[in-house]
């Protein structure tokens, strides 16, 4: 969607210059009123006293009106201006300025903000309930969309009118970001399994996805938040675990998988050691073993090497048949 935001192009004056004018005007107004009172006591004052008192009142009224035109902006803040309801541009120049006081202005922050979303329960691709959370860094990029494309002003107001202040407006945007973040998180989490259940499928999972999953989450968030003129700076999954109701079962499965993997390594190593022992005995002609003796030796060595507990030595006082 094309952005409708543009810079404010109305009359802009230096704030300090206008402040000097506003200070001088009431002084002149007081002098005019005082002078008119003095002239009224003089004979034949004519119309001058009425002119002076009128001028003094007008200057006082103008002073009060001009006071509403002062505007000070800090870095990474902006003022959205409207002219009797019509969008008139976004003022982003840092400093102290004065604009026509009849412009309506709403202050917004362009600074980066972060959201640490509480973990929520979702179902992954295979239906397992998992707990997943994210941390999000975002900032306002398009002020027109933020104020006029979504109903942020009504959400920011406390009395149902469109007069929410800057803090209320930003809180409303934070609420919008929070809701859309949870929706995007559910969407991404539902597309992938928690893990591959120890199957060598090379399929992307939530546990192994890493940066790729985070990039997809960031893309989904940008799609959802662009409606409000919000840019996602960074989005990352910061919490991932099985839901409590299946966590114990999955932990036992992981432990069993780890034990099986360890046993495979132990058996593989034991077989290679037995083979090396038999080859060594045969090549150096230390002893000749028939098939029965070899089978017995292999059995004993495998028991010793693969046992969980330390084997107890037994001295064989018999003889081997040569």
SS3 of residue 71 by DSSP: strand
291: domain range? Answer: 248-306
**Domain final residue pick, 242, 263, 282:** 242
Residues 45 and 142 in one domain: no
For 247, residues 6+ apart whose C-beta sits below 8 A from its C-beta are: 241
Look at residue 86 and tell me if it is in a domain: no
Please tell me the total count of domains within the chain: 3
**Domain final residue pick, 224, 242, 260:** 242
Residues 126 and 226 in one domain: yes
User: Could you tell me if 147 and 187 are in contact, meaning their C-beta atoms sit under 8 angstroms apart?
Assistant: no
Residues 46 and 163 in one domain: no
Residues 209 and 262 in one domain: no
Residues 28 and 142 in one domain: no
Domain containing 186 — which CATH number? 3.30.479.30
- pLDDT value for 162: 40
Look at residue 311 and tell me if it is in a domain: no
Question: What length is written for the chain?
Answer: 322
Residues 229 and 131 in one domain: yes
For 145, residues 6+ apart whose C-beta sits below 8 A from its C-beta are: 1, 3, 4, 5, 226, 227, 228, 229
| C-alpha torsion 12→16→19→23, nearest 10 | -150
What is the C-alpha separation between 230 and 140, in angstroms, rounded?
Answer: 5
Gyration radius from the chain CA atoms: 40
What is the C-alpha separation between 218 and 185, in angstroms, rounded?
Answer: 10
Residues 237 and 252 in one domain: no
What are the Cα distances from residue 76, in Å, to 107, 112, 227? 11, 9, 21
What is the C-alpha separation between 294 and 66, in angstroms, rounded?
Answer: 107
User: Could you tell me if 109 and 76 are in contact, meaning their C-beta atoms sit under 8 angstroms apart?
Assistant: yes
pLDDT one digit per residue (tens) for the chain, 322 residues: 577 899 999 899 999 999 999 999 999 999 988 888 777 666 666 677 788 888 989 999 999 999 999 999 999 999 999 999 899 999 999 999 999 999 999 999 999 999 998 899 988 888 888 899 999 999 999 999 998 888 876 766 654 434 457 788 888 888 899 999 999 999 998 888 887 655 555 778 888 778 888 999 999 999 999 989 999 999 999 888 888 776 566 666 666 666 667 777 777 777 787 777 777 767 766 666 666 666 777 776 666 666 666 656 665 555 555 4
Residues 234 and 122 in one domain: yes
Look at residue 88 and tell me if it is in a domain: no
**Domain final residue pick, 68, 103, 138:** 103
Q: How many CB atoms lie within 10 A of CB 277?
A: 13
For 51, residues 6+ apart whose C-beta sits below 8 A from its C-beta are: 36
Q: Which two tokens stand for residue 263?
A: 């046993």
Look at residue 6 and tell me if it is in a domain: no
Look at residue 223 and tell me if it is in a domain: yes
What is the C-alpha separation between 5 and 24, in angstroms, rounded?
Answer: 37
Helix (H) or strand (E) holding 189: helix 166-189
Residues 269 and 231 in one domain: no
SS3 of residue 103 by DSSP: coil
Helix (H) or strand (E) holding 38: helix 15-40
User: Could you tell me if 205 and 193 are in contact, meaning their C-beta atoms sit under 8 angstroms apart?
Assistant: yes
Residues 67 and 182 in one domain: no
Residues 206 and 295 in one domain: no
Residues 216 and 124 in one domain: yes
Look at residue 85 and tell me if it is in a domain: no
Which of 197, 196, 175 shows the shortest CA–CA distance to 253? 197
- pLDDT value for 40: 67
Look at residue 2 and tell me if it is in a domain: no
Which stretches within 196-312 are classed as H helix?
A: 206-209, 211-225, 244-283, 291-306
Look at residue 145 and tell me if it is in a domain: yes
SS3 of residue 48 by DSSP: helix
Which of 131, 135, 125, 124 shows the shortest CA–CA distance to 217? 135
């Amino acid at each position: 969607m094309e952005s409708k935001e543009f810079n404010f192009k109305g009359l802009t004056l230096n704030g300090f210059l206008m402040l000097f004018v506003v200070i001088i005007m009431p002084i002149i107004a007081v002098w005019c009123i005082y002078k008119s009172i003095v002239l009224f006591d003089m004979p034949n004052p004519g119309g001058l006293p009425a002119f002076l008192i009128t001028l003094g009142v007008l200057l006082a009224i103008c002073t009060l009106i001009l006071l509403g035109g002062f505007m000070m902006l800090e870095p990474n803040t902006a003022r959205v201006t409207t002219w009797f309801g019509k969008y008139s541009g976004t003022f982003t120049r840092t400093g102290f300025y004065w604009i026509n006081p009849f412009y309506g202005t709403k202050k917004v922050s362009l600074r980066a903000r972060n959201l640490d979303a509480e973990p929520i329960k979702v179902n992954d691709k295979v239906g397992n309930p998992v707990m997943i959370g994210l941390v999000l860094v975002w900032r306002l990029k398009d002020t027109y969309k933020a104020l006029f494309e979504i109903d942020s002003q009504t959400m920011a107001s406390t009395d149902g009118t469109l007069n929410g202040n800057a803090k209320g407006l930003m809180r409303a945007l934070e609420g919008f970001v929070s809701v859309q973040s949870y929706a995007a998180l559910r969407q991404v989490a539902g597309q992938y399994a928690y893990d591959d259940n120890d199957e060598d499928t090379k399929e992307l999972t939530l546990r192994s996805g890493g940066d790729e999953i985070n990039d997809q989450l960031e893309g989904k968030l940008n799609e959802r938040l662009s409606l409000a003129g919000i840019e996602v700076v960074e989005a990352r999954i910061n919490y991932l675990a099985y839901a409590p109701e299946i966590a114990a079962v999955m932990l036992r499965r992981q432990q069993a998988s780890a034990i099986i993997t360890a046993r495979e390594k132990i058996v593989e190593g034991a077989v290679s050691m037995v083979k090396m022992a038999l080859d060594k005995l045969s090549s150096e002609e230390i002893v000749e073993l028939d098939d029965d003796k070899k089978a017995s030796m292999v059995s004993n060595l495998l028991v010793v090497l693969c046992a969980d507990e330390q084997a107890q030595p037994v001295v064989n006082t018999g003889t081997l048949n040569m």
